[in-house]
Amino acid sequence: MNYIVNLLLSMKGGMFVTIYIFFITLVFSIILGIITAMIRISNIKIIRVVVSFYIFIMRGTPLLLQIIFIFFGLPMIGVTFERYTAVFIAFILNYTAYFTEIFRAGIQSIDKGQFEAAKVLGLSKFQSYRYIILPQMFKNILPALANEVITLVKDTSLVYVVGIADVLREGKIAVNRDATLLPFLVVAMFYAGFIYVLSDLFKKVERRFEYYR
Amino acid sequence: MVLELKNVAKSYKGKRILDNISFEVKEGEIVSIFGKSGAGKSTLLRCINGLETIDKGSIKINGEYLYRQNGIYVEVAKGESLKKIRQSIGLVFQNFNLFSNLTVLENIILAPINVYNLDRELAVKKAELLLDRLKILDKRDFYPYELSGGQRQRVAIARACILSPKIICFDEPTSAVDDEVKKSIAEIIMEFKSEKIAVLIVSHDKEFSHSISDRIINIEGGKIIS
Amino acid sequence: MKRFTLALLLIFSAIFLASCGETQVSNSESKIVVVGLDDTFAPMGFKNEKGEIVGFDVDLAKEVFRRLGYDVKFQPIDWAMKESELNSNKIDLIWNGYTITEERKQKVDFTKPYLINRQVIVVLKNSNINKKIDLEGKKVAAQLNSSSQEAVEKQKDFLSKLKDGKLYLYETNNDALMELENGRVDAVVVDEILARYYIKLKGEENFRILEENFGSEEYGVGFRKGDQLKDKVEKALDEMKKDGTFEKIYNNWFEK
């Protein structure tokens, strides 16, 4: 028991790192995802093509390789990032692509009549999105969003490749140091607990969106 | 004149949908556009409300050009001018298109507050007055999915006329409603007339159009035939 | 809207602070030197319960750079990326039980070896394996991308006689040793230093190290090609061996 308490204390830094990377990535990629989704359904062909290509690259290659490329590859052409900066760039670029696709599908699932009614009433594009389209979109995409967010929690462990000590790496260190598998069990419980809290949160949000159909 | 169309034409994928359409609607006049489905009457209504562009001609609403023929181009209204036009014309969609995430009241006051900077209290008061006249004040805080078809239509009407437009357009107002509702729509339209608000109706309901309109425009193959 | 802007501002400043927390890795003129190490590699360099990086190599490095007048920073890295870390200037040197091999010499400048390490064969105490030859048809494990893997796979005849004609490879030596304990593999080829550390923790009654081995290896410190810091470190290590400091540190971490 004493050992587990010590273990938890020694791993709290890693837990913070995991939560930190998760939170920053989530906030930025959701905001950017909404913007790129709106760009992606725009009428300008060249922009649509560029965004589609970006999404293809981000979804078509593993996130791990993207981190390696940004951190180790870009210095070859003179672009150097700090460890955390590189990780955030890779994570945000990658997750923005996934969120963009979710949001695009969400926006396109909304009846065209809602856009037209907003337009006829004189609402600007921004106002239509703010008051009508985005609230309706979020209701539609919540299940897909929840899936992606939970995947993000587990993807944070990929930061090991640049030596950042997230909770999984700290667990690995403890496993090697103390020659027992127990730290991995603690790590697993941490992830499960974190995801449980998130799922619960999503359930609550879904319930809050139930006021209309 | 609250509405003037001059030589309006529109093609889509090489097919002519509207062909040289000109007509006018006076203050307080009730005009029906009658035609079979596919005759182009719905497209015409969408053009008048700025939901679709035109290839040729001009559309003027309450003295402001929405579309204006200038040489070979058609200029489209922007900014303040467009805002003025939007305020002068209201549209009741065939399936109403109420915002499903907003209550009845919110549906009605959204544009007045956010687009025309009306004081919220004033907007609420105006909306309540309107809802009362339309006999649905008790539905003020309901969401669209909780309303019957007839009730939704009244909300759509309230939303379209909260800013006292000069002309209100109805797209197929009698499709899929019973005689009771039909009668009450006719009453509402007559009330508009008494307030000098023009009404433009697109319908294929011959009986309804004939009973209510001052004038009927018959359309066939994108042309006015009478 | 205001609250939203405030939240964004907070997040930006948090990121800014986080990136400031990292020291810019330097050229060799600067007085800060960044040592790359796999902080999961006990006992050479690893994090203890308090989160401090400790170990035999860490103590050596601290003493060397104290003598040379450098500030030393230990940067945890992923072991598979160590040469990339070095060549993209993210770290200045690799010092973490780093075995000198011909392949690595192509990419990295090594110091003279400072420690000899054998690739030993670990089996369970009650195992009937006593010699290399007994491993025929048995499941033998090693850490992926390790010197142990290289040493075994060099002996192609031997490799082909193992079960499935290959090594069972694991992410870490620990994984491999745990598989041995669980009976899913019959032997593990591993760095002697690590083996002795593990056996000490797990109880000496459970394991046995065979007499025969897969050759000895030499640990060196790796630098970027042409880095003059290498010679200074080499000299400092020589002096430490002469004046007994090296032995003192060694005895702190390993059985005599």
Nearest CA in chain B to A138: B101
Distance CA C54, CA B79 (A): 68
Quickly state the pLDDT bin for C200 (edges 50, 70, 90): confident
Position B140 scores a pLDDT of 93
Do you find a cis peptide bond into C43, omega within 30 degrees of 0?
A: yes
Answer yes or no: is A202 within a domain: no
Q: How many CB atoms lie within 10 A of CB A196?
A: 10
Burial letters for B33-61: b for 16+ Cβ neighbours within 10 Å, e otherwise? bbbeeebbbbbbbbbbbbbbebebbbbbb
> Which residues in chain B are contacts of A118 at CB distance < 8 A?
99
* Chains with 3 or more CB pairs under 8 A to chain A: B, C
> Domain spanning C31-114+220-253 has what CATH number?
3.40.190.10
Residue B54 Rama label (left phi>0; alpha psi -120 to 50; beta): beta
Quickly state the pLDDT bin for A84 (edges 50, 70, 90): very high
Quickly state the pLDDT bin for C2 (edges 50, 70, 90): low
Contact at CB, A136 and B101, closer than 8 angstroms? yes
Burial of B82 (0-12, 13-18, 19+ CB in 10 A): middle
Position C17 scores a pLDDT of 54
Contact by Cβ (8 Å): A122, A131: no
What's the whole-number mean pLDDT along residues C157-185?
A: 87
Position C24 scores a pLDDT of 45
Contact at CB, C11 and A179, closer than 8 angstroms? no
Contact by Cβ (8 Å): C88, C51: no
> Which residues in chain B are contacts of A114 at CB distance < 8 A?
97, 99-100
Contact at CB, C85 and A163, closer than 8 angstroms? yes
**In the predicted structure, residue C25 carries a pLDDT above the cut 50:** no
Q: How many CB atoms lie within 10 A of CB A189?
A: 11
**Distance of alpha carbon B83 from its chain centroid, rounded?**
16
Contact by Cβ (8 Å): C129, C139: no
**Which H or E element spans position C115?**
strand C115-124
Position C255 scores a pLDDT of 58
CATH 3.40.190.10 fits C117-217, yes or no: yes
**If DSSP states are collapsed to H, E and C, what string results for B10-77?**
EEECCEEEEEEEEEEECCCCEEEEECCCCCCHHHHHHHHCCCCCCCEEEEEECCEEEEEEECCEEEEC
Residue C91 three-state SS: coil
**Going by beta carbons, is chain B in contact with chain C, meaning 3 or more pairs sit under 8 Å apart?**
no
Q: A with C: how many residue pairs have Cβ under 8 Å apart?
A: 97
Contact at CB, C15 and A88, closer than 8 angstroms? yes
Interface test with A, best of C46, C75, C89, C90 (most A CBs within 10 A): C90
Position B112 scores a pLDDT of 94
> Which residues in chain C are contacts of A176 at CB distance < 8 A?
40-42, 46, 172-174
Contact by Cβ (8 Å): A14, A165: yes
**In the predicted structure, residue C19 carries a pLDDT above the cut 70:** no
Paired tokens of A124: 């600007």
C138 at A interface, C-beta within 8 A: no
Quickly state the pLDDT bin for B182 (edges 50, 70, 90): confident
Partner residue opposite A135 with nearest CB, options B101, B145, B159: B101
Interaxial angle between packed helices A12-40 and C2-20, expressed in degrees from 0 to 180 and rounded to the nearest 10:
130
A125 at B interface, C-beta within 8 A: no
Position A121 scores a pLDDT of 94
Domain extents for chain C? 31-114+220-253, 117-217
Contact by Cβ (8 Å): C44, C193: yes
| CATH code of the domain covering residue A78 | 1.10.3720.10
The residues that bridge with C53 in the sheet, in sequence order, are: C47
Q: A111-120, C25-34, C54-63: which has the minimum mean pLDDT?
A: C25-34
Residue C141 three-state SS: strand
**In the predicted structure, residue A3 carries a pLDDT above the cut 90:** no
> Which residues in chain A are contacts of B50 at CB distance < 8 A?
119-120
Q: What is the pTM of this model?
A: 0.76
Contact at CB, A162 and C77, closer than 8 angstroms? yes
Q: Give the residue from C22, C111, C20, C108 showing the smallest Cα distance to C73.
A: C22
Written as one letter, the residue type at A155 is D
Per-residue pLDDT tens digits for A152-162: 999 999 998 88
Contact at CB, C178 and A13, closer than 8 angstroms? no
Distance CA B49, CA C33 (A): 70
Residues 6+ apart with CB under 8 A from C171: C143, C144
Distance CA C143, CA A203 (A): 43
Contact at CB, A172 and C88, closer than 8 angstroms? no
**Going by beta carbons, is chain A in contact with chain C, meaning 3 or more pairs sit under 8 Å apart?**
yes
Residues 6+ apart with CB under 8 A from A100: A32, A33, A36, A37, A40, A51, A55
**In the predicted structure, residue C71 carries a pLDDT above the cut 90:** yes
| CB < 8 Å from C in window 46-75 of A | 68, 71-72, 75
Distance CA B214, CA B29 (A): 7
Q: How many CB atoms lie within 10 A of CB C214?
A: 21
> Which residues in chain C are contacts of A20 at CB distance < 8 A?
14, 18
Position A9 scores a pLDDT of 83
Interface test with A, best of B51, B100, B155 (most A CBs within 10 A): B100
Q: ipTM exceeding 0.85?
A: yes
Nearest CA in chain A to B116: A122
Distance CA B205, CA B182 (A): 11
Partner residue opposite B114 with nearest CB, options A123, A136, A212: A123
Q: A144-158, A196-210, B42-56, C146-160: which has the minimum mean pLDDT?
A: C146-160
Contact by Cβ (8 Å): A143, A105: no
Show the domain range for A57.
16-163
Q: DSSP letters of C30-67?
A: SSEEEEEE-TEETTTEEE-TTS-EESHHHHHHHHHHHH
C178 at A interface, C-beta within 8 A: yes
Q: Name the DSSP class of C99.
A: B
CA angle B110, A122, B62 (to 5 degrees): 120
Residue B200 three-state SS: strand
Contact by Cβ (8 Å): B48, B200: yes
Burial of C90 (0-12, 13-18, 19+ CB in 10 A): buried
Q: A83-92, B100-109, C243-252: which has the minimum mean pLDDT?
A: C243-252
CA angle A113, A118, A124 (to 5 degrees): 140
Per-residue pLDDT tens digits for B83-101: 999 999 999 999 999 999 9
Position C79 scores a pLDDT of 85
Distance CA C25, CA C48 (A): 24
Please name each of the domains of chain B with its CATH number. Answer: 25-53+79-224 (3.40.50.300)
What's the whole-number mean pLDDT along residues A175-197?
A: 88
Radius of gyration of chain C (CA): 21
Mean pLDDT of chain C: 84
* Chains with 3 or more CB pairs under 8 A to chain C: A
Contact by Cβ (8 Å): C191, C173: yes
B113 at A interface, C-beta within 8 A: no
How many domains does chain A contain in total?
1
Mean pLDDT of chain A: 91
